Amino acid sequence: MASDITIRGLLVGRGRRGYPENMLFGGVISLVTLIVSIGLILLSVWAVVDCARRPANLFPYIERQSKTLWLILTALAIAAAILGGVIFWIISAVISLVYLFDLRPKFEQVGNRSY
Domain boundaries of the chain, sorted by first residue: 35-110
Q: Look up the pTM and report it.
A: 0.71
Query: Is 90 exceeded by the pLDDT of residue 95?
Result: yes
- Per-residue pLDDT averaged across 62-84, rounded? 91
Q: State the pLDDT confidence band at 12, using cuts at 50, 70 and 90.
A: low
How many angstroms separate the CA atoms of 52 and 22, rounded?
45
Q: State the pLDDT confidence band at 5, using cuts at 50, 70 and 90.
A: low
